[in-house]
Structure 1
Amino acid sequence: MRQNIVKHYYRKPEKVADMENHLGNDLQMIQTSYYDVYFYFACDLIYIVFTIGTLFTFHWILVAYSLVISFFAIVVPKLLEKYTNKATEKVSSKNAQFLNLIENWFNGLEELRRYKNKSILKKKIGESSHQLEQSEYQRDKSMIYVGMVAAIFDVMGRVGVPVIAGILFFNHQVSLGAILTAGYFANGIFYSVNSCVTKYIQLKSTKTLRDQLAKLQKIEADKKYDSIDEIASIEVKNLSVKYEHGEKIAYPNFVINRGEKVLLVGDSGTGKSTLLKVLLGQIKLSSGEVIYKNKNDELIHPDFNQIGYLAQDLTMFDASILENITMFNSKLNDRVNSAVEANAFVHDEEKLKDRLATEIEVKHNLLSGGQQQKVVLMRAMVHEKSILYLDEATSAIDQKGATKILRNLTQGKETLLMIAHNLSEEQRALFDREIHLEGK
């Protein structure tokens, strides 16, 4: 299950907290409340069937009574299963919220320390933790109520069967030994019935969760996309995006032709980064369209994952610098040296003891912001992406290094759309043209 869910998230990633919840807590709940329970539920059920069958050797009334009580012992708690199901779903939801809150607040831990604001962190974590604990308490309480209902029928069965056997004895319909034996069997039957009911409710309480995980395990067949190498033009037409808080951004119409080097500029808040995400299909449009065409002016549907995209939040991995450049594809190693030169990383490499074999840790990265940008730029270069969308890709690199990198980028065959602030006149002149975004 976990492997299939991982495959799903590889294609359609979600928030880290949601993925952690499904891959950790939810799978653990399914294991303990479904798979572990299922085997013993089946064993109890088999025992009940055979034992009730044995009562036939004494008198059919004992069987009828056992079946009636067993029926109510099963049906009545079943009416309560929607509450236990809802309670289990709430535990999953609260756990996801808790993980999401931890992720969001601990990302800003350094800032909280800087302003000595530990109390707000404790408060937020405490509140969310309490909500999670309450949801778990409510789930346990609902299970206890179901258990109490089952216990009532359990007592009725254990006491009722021997009593009926006693009445039959005085009516000379069964022997004295049948009373003791029926009592013994009744204990076994209704203990197992009670156990079955409890286990059944546990099994059913996970239904919503199991349905959710089942959907995540469905691996859609890879859609057929056109190669990004077929893209001859990218057209933005009557495009607008509306944010959740209500703000709407409208974009000018424009066309970027294959091989063009375009600089995207505008004040903060004009939607430059959002535009790149729209072009990559990551954000839904409010109106308008993005049109990709081939050299025959035909509409195509490229695989956006194959487009080179460098976001402001760089993605690095706990691995060597070389592996971060090649993305663990050793076949690309022979392209790395030229990428190091083109991205002004030669002097940076010389300062490292193990050079490109140097291992880095994402949370304690020994590379500066500018060096990390160079690594990600080299990654795009060695993979020879024919289209590059760059969001402030050189903002942390010194002027000399940035100029060299931009010169190499603009002299290549790639189609380039780049967001940048504060470029020098020399750097701006390297681009074919500029697209200016304006505020509302």
Structure 2
Amino acid sequence: MTNDLEMLKEQYADSIGGIVHSAVLLALVAGSLASFRWSLLLLVIAVSTLQMYLPRVLDEPLQKATDKISASNRKYLQTLADWLNGIDTLRRYAVGEKFLSIIHADARELESAYVKQQKADQELDYLNQAIYSLGNTLIFLLTAYFVARGQLEFGLIASVNDFSLYLFGSLMNIANYRG
């Protein structure tokens, strides 16, 4: 139960603060981009929609991995409790090796559950970073296009690049926190 509560804190409660911070930063940057050029904001909205939908794709595997960890942890602790309650019997019949083999098997199952969860988290992070790079590149190219046509000033490229780093970084954080 303690492990489940710790997992709940790390995976859900800590994420709420990160989501709020990233959402505020996202709103401020989007407002700034809209003041430069409305088409920049449209591009941001399109990429934002894609990046916010991404965790939904991996939601089921992440939930299954978390449930597997919880179940494996519960089974491991129950096995320990069952065997340790009969420690005197273990000593009397010298079945310590059987005890260790069962404990090791449950520990391997728990470790495997953690590995699967980490794999699902890494897949989500990889996809988020790919969309982050795509969005950052697209907004930079669109800004360069407007600068080349004389519709925006050249100095705006650096500002938009900085804004897009904050913007897509915030989107990536929100998507990861939601995942």
Verify same fold: TM over 0.5: yes
Determine which of 97, 107, 112 is the counterpart of 1:129.
107
Deviations 1:330-357 (A, max 9, x none): xxxxxxxxxxxxxxxxxxxxxxxxxxxx
Q: 1:76: Cα distance to partner? A: 2.3
Find out whether 1:189 has 2:167 as its counterpart. Answer: yes
Find out whether 1:165 has 2:143 as its counterpart. Answer: yes
**What TM-score, normalized to structure 2?**
0.97
How far, CA to CA, are the matches of 2:26 and 2:68 in structure 1? 33
For 1:200, the equivalent position in structure 2 comes to: 178
For 1:25, the equivalent position in structure 2 comes to: 3
Q: 1:77 touches 1:149 (CA, 8 Å); kept in 2?
A: no
For 1:149, the equivalent position in structure 2 comes to: 127
Q: 1:98 touches 1:132 (CA, 8 Å); kept in 2?
A: yes
Q: 1:77: Cα distance to partner? A: 2.4
Deviations 1:354-410 (A, max 9, x none): xxxxxxxxxxxxxxxxxxxxxxxxxxxxxxxxxxxxxxxxxxxxxxxxxxxxxxxxx
Q: Which amino acid aligns with 1:138?
A: K
Determine which of 80, 83, 88 is the counterpart of 2:66.
88
Q: 2:62 touches 2:117 (CA, 8 Å); kept in 1?
A: yes
Which of 1 and 2 has higher RCO (CA within 8 Å, sep 6+)?
2
Q: What SS does the corresponding residue of 2:88 show, helix, strand or coil?
A: helix
How far, CA to CA, are the matches of 1:103 and 1:76 in structure 2? 41
How far, CA to CA, are the matches of 1:134 and 1:45 in structure 2? 34
Determine which of 75, 93, 96 is the counterpart of 1:115.
93
Deviations 1:55-106 (A, max 9, x none): 0121111111111111101102212111101111111111110111001111
Determine which of 38, 43, 56 is the counterpart of 1:65.
43
Deviations 1:247-284 (A, max 9, x none): xxxxxxxxxxxxxxxxxxxxxxxxxxxxxxxxxxxxxx
Deviations 1:207-230 (A, max 9, x none): xxxxxxxxxxxxxxxxxxxxxxxx
Q: What SS does the corresponding residue of 1:56 show, helix, strand or coil?
A: helix
**What TM-score, normalized to structure 1?**
0.40
How far, CA to CA, are the matches of 2:74 and 2:98 in structure 1? 20
Q: How does 1:392-431 map to 2 (within 5 A)?
A: none
Determine which of 34, 37, 51 is the counterpart of 1:56.
34
Q: 1:26: Cα distance to partner? A: 1.1
Greater alpha carbon shift after TM alignment, 127-136 vs 155-164:
155-164
Q: Which amino acid aligns with 2:135?
A: G
Q: How does 1:235-384 map to 2 (within 5 A)?
A: none
Q: 1:36: Cα distance to partner? A: 1.4
For 1:103, the equivalent position in structure 2 comes to: 81
How far, CA to CA, are the matches of 1:61 and 1:171 in structure 2? 14
Find out whether 1:40 has 2:18 as its counterpart. Answer: yes
Dislocated runs of 4+, deviation >6 Å: none
Q: 2:143 touches 2:160 (CA, 8 Å); kept in 1?
A: yes
Q: How does 1:216-231 map to 2 (within 5 A)?
A: none
How far, CA to CA, are the matches of 2:14 and 2:173 in structure 1? 14
Of Structure 1 and Structure 2, which has the larger fraction of its residues in helix?
Answer: 2
For 2:55, the equivalent position in structure 1 comes to: 77
Stretches of structure 2 that go unaligned for 5 or more consecutive residues are none
Q: Which amino acid aligns with 1:114?
A: R
Q: What SS does the corresponding residue of 1:80 show, helix, strand or coil?
A: helix
Q: 1:158 touches 1:190 (CA, 8 Å); kept in 2?
A: yes
Q: Which amino acid aligns with 1:159?
A: T
The number of aligned residues is 179
Q: Which amino acid aligns with 2:88?
A: E
Of Structure 1 and Structure 2, which has the larger fraction of its residues in strand?
Answer: 1
Q: 1:190: Cα distance to partner? A: 0.6
Find out whether 1:176 has 2:154 as its counterpart. Answer: yes
Stretches of structure 1 that go unaligned for 5 or more consecutive residues are 1-21, 202-440
Supply the RMSD in Å over aligned alpha carbons: 1.0
